[in-house]
Amino acid sequence: MLKRIKYVSRFAQLLSAEEIVQLAGNASEKNHRLDVTGILMSSGGMFFQILEGPPKAVEELWAAIERDPRHTDVLLLSSEEGIERRLFPDWGMGAIDLDAQADDRLEPLKAILTAILAQRRSMEELSGVLERAVWREPAGIARS
């Protein structure tokens, strides 16, 4: 049984197309060794990645990726266990730099990434509102 993780993050600083290619190349090599597959998509200063493989390998990789200073605001979107089949069986780490390609077929993918980013912003804003609302509640609010 396999494990699959999906997350989004923001570039910590501007990364060139070459740097992204290099990052994905190194990732691909290591993933092959670990029997991990997936995709790494980037656009507008944002990453979206899917990692799938043996649970232990995916967890170790995730721990390293989460700490990587090249990106920030890493948000886990989902973590699924007990997966039987891979979504990307042939890709050690297929990298798609959406901003480096002038292909109309990729436009919908960019729109989806932009929508994820917008949703994420509103989630962060709403959780801020929730926090402040709790703070403003009178001291009598029930606590457990």
User: 44 or 128, CB closer to ligand FMN?
Assistant: 44
Write out the DSSP string of 5-66. Answer: EEEEEEESS---HHHHHHHHHHHHHHHHHHT-EEEEEEETTEEEEEEEE-HHHHHHHHHHHH
CB of 63 to ligand FMN, least distance (A): 9
CB of 113 to ligand FMN, least distance (A): 13
In this structure, what are the phi and psi dihedrals at residue 91, rounded to the nearest 5 degrees? -115, 110
Residues in the chain: 144
User: 32 or 128, CB closer to ligand FMN?
Assistant: 32
Which positions lie near ligand FMN, rule CB under 6 A?
9, 23, 27, 30-31, 40, 47, 49, 51, 61, 64-65, 68, 70-71, 93
CB of 106 to ligand FMN, least distance (A): 19
User: 88 or 106, CB closer to ligand FMN?
Assistant: 88
How are beta strands 2-11 and 71-83 bridged, if at all? antiparallel
CB of 111 to ligand FMN, least distance (A): 21
What number of other Cβ atoms are within 10 A of residue 40's Cβ?
22
CB of 56 to ligand FMN, least distance (A): 14
The CA-CA-CA angle for residues 47, 98, 49, to 5°, reads 30
User: 2 or 23, CB closer to ligand FMN?
Assistant: 23
User: 66 or 125, CB closer to ligand FMN?
Assistant: 66
